[in-house]
A and B are shown apart, each in its own frame.
Chain A
């Protein structure tokens, strides 16, 4: 291995050469000829020549970690280093940009490499932080971070409200603030979407055929009881990517109908804890027919040959990731350069890479998209609703808690109630009086304990499960009350349905 002198600092090659050879000969027992790395002053080099003290075997106490040699004759080393460093010119580190993110390493590495290629003189320093902990880190380390770049909508919104970001350059032409009716960037220009991920259905066609199930294209398709145990639906309070699903349905179909759909789909889903929320293996191996997921979780599996397809339903939504530059960025120019890079054509095209598989926010780059890649801007031309992102952010914590009350914590009861009502409906056939009672029973099963107006009013009391609440149990009584009310409603619905079933000879027995 050849070595070259560093850019700065002294060179004592000539002074040291003879001693180096002797030194090497004693220790390595092979005379390897090569240039000398340096950094020592000539004065220090003379001191650094082999001496009996330096060459003697160190009296190092063994630890489990011998590699860094903490107990090296420190006084000698310190004196030596002090001598070495005296005349050496101080060298300032190269420009860097400190980026806080919660992205997985595979993705970070790709962007780091792309950025370095475009800006070889600027180093990227990554501070990894979960989105729920990012804000506190930024507050506790003022003037340390340049850029926040992460899929963390609520954290961005909170930081923006606290005045943490400086306005992004106005010349980010070609970057829309919305995909159809779905807002993706801060309307105030404090942070911008860098990519979006789309919600939809991962479908195993082979399993569909085996189970004689139709290809699902809309959320309403998944409400049919035929899908029971044939789909995976992520629990919003447990899977970080899942909370927007609640609002997509609640806003796409309206509060009442959206929540009814959520419960019907949730009841068909495999029981909580049966599958990892973003684990593509269950669908790839054909253990289920459909998994509701984000596209990039599934695209990687498809690329690796899994026999699945991904379907974007008509009513869908996107989970955007953002970039923002801190007001107190220690490297403001580099920060701006990084933000511009991730939004540039080159940065956006990286999103097509198999390790990313996210959707670019710059429409122009879709001209070079891989074959079969989804174009949300084209699809958005038929987007049927305007999405209120602010409302979605505000209600996220409440939605997560409400979903657990309605579905997660009462999964078996919900299933049993819907199944009993369905059985009674079959029994009732054309009996209008009975059908009317059963309509009431069905509504009771999915009846929410609060109205939309109440939900809006209460939303401020809840934080998302992925953030840290000051008082984690603050809503315990409220939630207990909701759960009891929902359980009462479902018991009542089942009583009504059972009465209908019992009234029809030959139909009795447990629902199935």
Chain B
């Protein structure tokens, strides 16, 4: 399949950036403007803003959604155990999904230097390609550092961050301190990592609206890729191995668009972060070098299931992610927000953080199909410069490239998690800090923001907080 040149992509361009869709709720013009996710938009600004099911989901699916929510909030137990939910580890990072995705929102880097990574992990690899062109796992540690082990299985070690602060100065003389993390290790239990280890720290991402992102047609992403963009902005799809479909596919999940489907994303997280086997990831997360890990007991979801998470539980968790609604935009008529929206476009932020697109006519769930959505992402990879580079390639993404993260609902991130961090590793403590980390293809946008007077910077941030 030729991903980079497609006539289908040109055809699909017509479905992009077509404002004015009213969504499925029948809201009026002003109301329609607030809809972030068509019929899967919810209204409310509480700490539970990311935790609502799509209003379009229907009562018949509520039990499935509830099971998925239970799995997502479940604290897992070391096997063997009575009462279910057994199978944590042998190696793991945290005991529950919500440890890193509190209330379905973003995680954060440790508050203090050397602090424990409670809502982030360290992705590992060594130079070279793994199966199907993905990252090559470290022979002893695999592809992420698991700090904890069940009794008898040593945790892999401890990773921690140190920060180096530097100051950015705006044209009006305002100064802003940015912190750059460096990763360090101690108490490594399975030998040295080696000089060529590639490490990428990642906070847990927000998990709402993912079903809609999954429903954006490939053709739309290819059209975005091929579209001419201003100010040196490019963007390209990542092509990854789809382990569920057993084929190459466009990646759209993960900070480097390195996973093709939500099912794989969820199964990998269960397996890699919690050590929970699933029908898609049926083996414990032990490397060949980890003998105690390989001998540790595993759990089973039931007598008839071979894995610790059953197929029904996995499917329900995937459903939960697909059906989590997106908070509505707020204050869209506010003059400051309108001014911020104008600045957002003028600074070419909207060239990558695409304000509007439409989901395909077919989707994994019917209510996700044919929706006008406002995710503020193109799901493409962009060179973000040295400042953000992790030097760790992932399929076609090189060490400077990152997927444009969706911005919808980001204005409520701090309400949902007061310690929230921004960017892939949570280094940015505010949205303005995050903007000032933009480099590479986004350097011109950053410099435009640097020249803005304080009032305009505030308007821009106010706009981001509204979407």
B-binding residues in A (CB < 8 A) = 1-4, 6-9, 12-13, 16, 20, 23-24, 26-30, 32, 34, 36-40, 44-45, 48, 54-55, 57-58, 60-74, 76-78, 80-82, 84-85, 88, 91-94, 102, 104-106, 108-109, 112-113, 116-117, 120, 123-130, 132-133, 136-137, 141, 144, 303-305, 354, 468
Contact = CB atoms under 8 A, between A and B. Distances in A.
Interface in B395-435: 398-400
A91 B140 CA distance: 17
B131 A66 contact: yes
B143 A62 contact: no
Nearest to B148: A125
15 contacts: A1-B183, A23-B196, A30-B400, A38-B192, A39-B195, A48-B195, A63-B283, A69-B136, A72-B136, A72-B287, A74-B288, A77-B140, A113-B118, A125-B148, A128-B75
A116 B116 contact: yes
Nearest to A85: B191
Given A1-B199, A105-B73, A70 B184 contact: no
Interface string B194-227: 1111011100000000000000000000000000
Contacts of B148: 125
A81 B140 contact: yes
B137 A141 contact: no
Given A3-B182, A28-B399, A129-B81, A104 B393 contact: no
A45 B241 CA distance: 32
A8 B200 CA distance: 21
A77 B181 CA distance: 29
Given A1-B183, A48-B196, A64-B280, A72 B81 contact: no
Contacts of A88: 191-192
Contacts of B185: 6, 37, 39
B187 A91 contact: yes
B201 to A, nearest CB: 8
Interface in B127-164: 127-132, 134, 136-140, 142-144, 148, 151, 155, 158, 162, 164
A81 B289 contact: yes
Given A1-B199, A64-B282, A37 B391 contact: no
Interface residues on B, range: 35 or more
B75 A105 contact: yes
A26 B127 contact: yes
B198 to A, nearest CB: 8
A225 to B, nearest CB: 31
B83 A3 contact: no
A129 B77 contact: yes
B175 interface: no
B131 A77 contact: no
A68 B75 contact: no
Contact of A1 (B98, B102, B182, B187): B182
A48 B143 CA distance: 19
B179 interface: no
Given A6-B186, A77-B289, A40 B137 contact: no
Nearest to A71: B288
Interface string B219-239: 000000000000000000000
Given A1-B182, A304-B48, A74 B241 contact: no
B286 A3 contact: no
Interface of B: 44, 46-48, 73, 75-78, 81-83, 88, 94-96, 98-99, 102, 111-112, 114-116, 118, 127-132, 134, 136-140, 142-144, 148, 151, 155, 158, 162, 164, 180-197, 199-201, 241, 243, 268, 271-272, 280-283, 285-289, 386, 389-391, 393, 398-400
A133 B188 contact: no
Nearest to A137: B81
Contacts of B390: 1
A71 B131 CA distance: 10
Given A40-B195, A66-B241, A72-B288, A32 B400 contact: yes
Q: What are the 6 tightest A-B residue pairs by CB atom distance, in nearest-first order?
A: A39-B192, A77-B139, A69-B137, A68-B142, A27-B127, A93-B187
Nearest to B78: A127
Nearest to B201: A1
Nearest to A303: B47
Given A65-B282, A66-B131, A66-B134, A113 B111 contact: yes
Given A1-B183, A37-B197, A67-B137, A85 B192 contact: yes
A122 to B, nearest CB: 10
A1 B391 contact: yes
Nearest to B94: A105
A243 B437 CA distance: 54
B41 to A, nearest CB: 18
A39 B188 contact: yes
Contact of A62 (B114, B132, B142, B287): B132
A91 B188 contact: yes
Contacts of A60: 130-131
Q: Report which residue of B88, B189, B285, B399 has the largest number of chain A beta carbons within 10 angstroms of its beta carbon.
A: B399
Contact of B99 (A44, A92, A105): A105
A202 to B, nearest CB: 17
Contact of A128 (B88, B196, B272): B88
B399 A20 contact: no
Contact of B195 (A12, A78, A92, A144): A12
Contacts of B139: 69, 72-74, 76-78, 80-81
A39 B48 contact: no
Contact of A120 (B114, B194, B280): B114
A39 B112 contact: no
A28 B129 CA distance: 10
Nearest to A90: B187
A65 B281 contact: yes
Given A2-B180, A116-B116, A120-B112, 19 more contacts: A4-B162, A7-B184, A24-B127, A24-B391, A39-B192, A39-B194, A58-B129, A61-B131, A64-B281, A65-B283, A66-B137, A66-B243, A67-B130, A70-B286, A74-B289, A78-B139, A113-B111, A117-B112, A133-B77
A123 B187 CA distance: 13
A37 B199 contact: yes
A114 B187 CA distance: 23
B361 to A, nearest CB: 30
B22 to A, nearest CB: 27
Given A6-B185, A45-B195, A68 B143 contact: yes
Contacts of A304: 46-48
B224 to A, nearest CB: 23
A81 B83 contact: no
A291 B271 CA distance: 39
B196 A20 contact: yes
